[in-house]
Amino acid sequence: MLDLKREQLAAVRVKELVPYLIQPEFSERAMISRGPSARRGDSCHCRSMIGMTGAILGFGRKLYASSLSGVKQVVDRTQTVATLTGVSKAFGDICAVDGLDLSVRAGEMLALLGPNGAGKTTTVNLLLGLVHPDRGQVSVFGGKPEALSVRRQCGAMLQISGVPETLKVAELVTLFRSYYSDPLPQSKVLALAGIESIAGRKFGQLSGGQKQRTLFALAICGAPKLLFLDEPTVGLDVSARRAFWDVIRQLRDSGTSIVLTTHYLEEADALADRIVVIANGRVVAEGTPRQIKALAADKTIRFRSTLKLEQLGRLAEVASVTKTNDGFEIVTRSATATLRGLLNADAEVTDLEVTGAGLEQAFLTLVDNDNANQANDKEKAA
């Protein structure tokens, strides 16, 4: 049972718990009252409201329980669980999403990448039913994303929380578990999020990383079939981040579909089955991490040389040259042509290394190309 007095619990507003899910038809002043003297009607009404506004955190336990028992559930990964078709959304004069087509498949980890203002957050909010499209169709589990039956199958860990800072971590988990008919055991929630040692501390006393892990715990209380993680590892140290990766891989392997937005490209490269790059409200590239990296044809050459920076910059097909602590780094459009010129100019080159483009280089290339195309289109239109 929640270790709170009735008066304390009654003071917790629904809006404070799930601020991004309050529906306009519900009273902002609605209170949670679960004490023994609470009126039956009040308790039922409040629980119904939580079901409507907090159900985005998810119901059902089958998929997640199967992973905890070590038995992986067979999932048809060709099945689509969510789609955006020709979706556009503008806020005033700003077009956040422009004719976007996107699909999320069963049991996959989909990473949404893009620069700030690209439309990632709007895309997630459309899939959560928090905003509505101006044009196009949004479908989640075959229904509208704002439908209660859909929200009960979804979970969300967003950057905005609004969790009461005076409640203890264990109290928050107990409270959020009470929203579900068959929640994951509290001990497992705490263990999976790695927050057993801070269960007795108030949320407001936690560090940034500890708050992130607590919010993740609240999002998985009901084991959603579709989980949205918006910058989930911000504030986590290296070991905590790796542990978090293991947990969400476990969720994915159990059949949960996960939509991940992150600015840590290493994270997307390590976790994602598929990456969608968004720029200027549109999808500019889509594929596995390897396929995305292959879209950047540039190669990187690292080496030691007695040549000067200016000499290296004049080699064939060189896009850029950088002086490093222990040598040089060249980004080239043709490794063969550049290497031929380099070895002709300096036969004593040492520590030579040639690599393909990483995800970061591919990402920058795709975004820069899209920005250039946008600029050309505007110039032609003018």
> 184 and 210 in one domain?
yes
- Domain assignment present for residue 72? The answer is no
Tens-digit pLDDT profile for residues 287-298: 999 889 888 768
End-to-end CA distance of the chain: 66
- Domain assignment present for residue 365? The answer is no
Instruction: Strands of 79-164 (E only): list them.
Output: 80-91, 94-105, 109-113, 135-140, 154-157
> 135 and 108 in one domain?
yes
Boundary residue ending a domain (292, 319, 337): 292
> 193 and 326 in one domain?
no
For position 139, what pLDDT does the model report?
A: 98
CATH for 132: 3.40.50.300
- In order along the chain (382 residues), what is the average pLDDT of each group of 10 residues? 43 39 30 33 34 34 40 72 97 95 96 93 95 97 92 85 90 88 87 94 94 93 89 88 92 93 92 95 93 82 95 93 93 91 95 85 81 73 67
> 322 and 207 in one domain?
no
Q: Which of 15, 98, 8, 21 is nearest to 55 (CA)?
A: 21
For position 296, what pLDDT does the model report?
A: 74
> 128 and 15 in one domain?
no
Q: What's the predicted TM-score (pTM) here?
A: 0.72
- Domain assignment present for residue 181? The answer is yes
The 8-class DSSP code of residue 279 comes to E
Boundary residue ending a domain (292, 316, 334): 292
- Domain assignment present for residue 62? The answer is no
- Domain assignment present for residue 66? The answer is no
DSSP reduced 3-state for 374: helix
- Domain assignment present for residue 46? The answer is yes
> 185 and 329 in one domain?
no
> 350 and 210 in one domain?
no
For position 73, what pLDDT does the model report?
A: 59
For position 16, what pLDDT does the model report?
A: 39
> 13 and 124 in one domain?
no
> 220 and 155 in one domain?
yes
Residue-number span of the structural domain to which 346 is assigned: 297-356
Rounded to 5°, the CA angle 283-81-108 comes to 70
CA–CA distance, 242 with 379 (Å, rounded to integer): 46
> 283 and 270 in one domain?
yes
- Domain assignment present for residue 226? The answer is yes
- Domain assignment present for residue 378? The answer is no
For position 22, what pLDDT does the model report?
A: 30
Boundary residue ending a domain (275, 292, 309): 292
CA–CA distance, 171 with 160 (Å, rounded to integer): 20
> 309 and 283 in one domain?
no
* Cβ proximity of 217 and 189 under 8 Å: yes
Q: Hey, how many other C-beta atoms are within 10 angstroms of the C-beta on 311?
A: 15
For position 379, what pLDDT does the model report?
A: 66
For position 122, what pLDDT does the model report?
A: 95
Number of domains in the chain: 3
For position 72, what pLDDT does the model report?
A: 52
> 193 and 171 in one domain?
yes
CA–CA distance, 226 with 139 (Å, rounded to integer): 13
Q: List all residues 6 or more positions away from 24 whose beta carbon is below 8 Å from its beta carbon.
A: none
Residue 188: HSE in the Cβ half-sphere, 13 Å Cα cutoff: 15
